[in-house]
Amino acid sequence: MTSYAQRPWLKHYDPWVSGEIDVPNKTYTDLLEEGLSFAPQRPAVYFFGKTITFSELDGLSARFAEFLTSRGYGPGDVVGIHLVNIPQYLIVLAGSLRAGCAVSGVSFLLTANEMAHQLNDSGASLLVTTDASFEEKLFAISDRLSGLKDIVVTNLGDFLPPVKRLLGRMLKKIPSGKVLPMPGKQVFHLNRLLPLYSGRFEKPKLTPEDVCLIQYTGGTTGLPKGTLLTHRNIVANVTQARQWTDLKPEAHDIGLSAFPFFHLAGLMLGMMALSSSATQCLIPDPRDTGHICKQLQKYHPTLLANVPTLYQMLLAEPGFHRLDFSACRLCISGAAPFAEEAITALESVVGKGKVMEVYGMTETSPLLTMNPFSGKKKIGTVGIPIQSTQVKLVDLETGTREVPVGEAGELIARGPQVMAGYKDKPAETDHALREFEGEKWLYTGDVAVMDEDGYFTIVDRTKDMVNVGGYKVFSREVEEVLYQHKQIAFCAVIGRPNPGRPGSERVVAVIQPAGDFQKLDKPRLEKEILDFCRKTLAPYKVPRVVEFVESIPLTSVGKVDKKALR
């Protein structure tokens, strides 16, 4: 009988992938320096017709590092980056890490109050933001940011070609704002300060155990927590992912991802590209699928990485189906479940076997499982544990007993990519990192099933399960059925209290229908959907409430925002 200890997944590893990896005794900054210098004249960034080479990125980030060191910043200091995916993000990221600082990505979609919480909680001393955000958000909370000493502002168009920058401002497509003096803080303009420095700075002494990133969780169950990821964590995950996907600097891969850099999935993709001398096509607005299609047509990327909702939005673009994907070797999908029918539809465009579902979380740097690159992919699963990673499933009630293979349980994991803990939150850290049979494991809060081959399927978050009179209903199972209905564009299943049965919930299906919402015959479609569900699902799993919406709310990374739905 198969067990987790047998690691059945090892037999499905690609030939070049080892079961265990030796994590280099380096910092991520060491890998970054290697990536910047490997092919200096190779394009590092494509951005709306602007090309920045690795040599140019090296020089610009070195100048920012020198600016930081001249201001007294170094190991132990935190730099917040509040930008979308523009060249300035990579310049500031690389420069901050080269100066020895830790970096904290600040979501561009946060409210002013949410920004204040994260900046204070992370202990950020310097923030890089846009002039529009400075006026709209930052100025209003300046008196609450006692630890913030310096602010560096930039404009979204500062690194665009001059003609596009002028046109964008004329058409008001590039927002800008007033930058005013801020009492008790120094304010700098990025495009003015960089020419003042030569790029010569003293490299700090760092160890693999120093904090590299402070990335914040989504805050689905309260205030976001700062996840402490060390240089060793990041180097481990970069090493794992590069070997798994056969990503080599010599091959010169070109990546396109709409994951925002302020989310760890996007940031890790960006950091992996920088350290692997791979070119990045930057996408500042993930919802502009027309622009994404133009970038795909122009640059023929070899690697794509997006959330399922964006792939589905691209499939709705007529131009996407006419593109040439012969250069594309991999389409990574993560951060949310991907309906099997949608994967099949995507592979009919990009090529069979190219879609790779993966799974991870902020606390694991982020990757834990991946489908094999060239070997057996199982559609609907998130693949198998990556190198040097142990995974098992435990009972949902106590978390102290392994559940048999084939049964649902909470996924727990161990590996070199698992976080050091949450910043200044010992109780939350102890709850997430718990002992199981004498070893410390990360309790993920995700419910999964493992098959006999060691492939995992995520069936729900523990907090997203619906309790119907004592029966557990996994939201993904119901969503998979709903997605088979051709009049459903997007859907989400949540649980709401059942007024007639205290302690029990009702299954609620939130539906974004295909077609014109204003002309929708809601009663007819609701009856069709419920009849359809009754043919496939057990009675207690059939939605008791169907809500139609024009658009389902999404998080900043494009996942369905179930917290907002509730």
Which tens digit of pLDDT belongs to each residue from 85-95? Answer: 999 999 999 99
The pair of three-digit structure tokens given for residue 150, joined into one six-digit string: 């310096």
* Least-confidence region, from 115-119, 199-203, 463-467: 463-467
What confidence score (pLDDT) does residue 260 get?
Answer: 92
What confidence score (pLDDT) does residue 473 get?
Answer: 82
Which tens digit of pLDDT belongs to each residue from 200-223? Answer: 999 999 999 999 999 998 654 467
Average pLDDT over every residue of 26-49:
97
User: Where residue 555 falls among pLDDT bands split at 50, 70, 90?
Assistant: confident
What confidence score (pLDDT) does residue 33 get?
Answer: 98
What confidence score (pLDDT) does residue 476 get?
Answer: 79
Cβ neighbors of 400 (< 8 A, separation 6 or more) are: 394, 436
Instruction: Give the side-chain half-sphere CA count within 13 A for 128.
Output: 29
Average pLDDT over every residue of 164-192:
80
Question: Which amino acid, residue 259?
Answer: F
Q: Would you say residue 498 has pLDDT above 70?
A: yes
Average pLDDT over every residue of 182-191:
94
SS (HEC) of 6-69? HCHHHHHCCCCCCCCCCCCCCCHHHHHHHHHHHCCCCEEEEECCEEEEHHHHHHHHHHHHHHHH
Q: Would you say residue 500 has pLDDT above 80?
A: no
Q: Would you say residue 471 has pLDDT above 80?
A: no
Q: Left if phi > 0, otherwise alpha if psi is -120 to 50, otherwise beta: which for 388? A: left
CA distance 485 to 546: 14
What pTM was estimated for this model as a whole? Answer: 0.86
Check if the beta carbon of residue 37 is closer than 8 Å to that of residue 67. no
Q: Bridge partners of 450?
A: 456
Q: What is the DSSP letter of 143?
A: G
Encode burial over 437-452: b for 16+ CB neighbours within 10 A, e otherwise: eeeebbbbbbbbbbee
Question: 193 or 170: which carries more pLDDT confidence?
Answer: 193
CA distance 539 to 330: 40
Is the CATH code 3.30.300.30 the one for domain 465-565? yes
Question: 370 or 159: which carries more pLDDT confidence?
Answer: 370
CA distance 225 to 222: 9
Which tens digit of pLDDT belongs to each residue from 238-291? Answer: 999 999 999 999 999 999 999 999 989 999 999 999 999 999 999 999 889 999
What confidence score (pLDDT) does residue 171 get?
Answer: 55
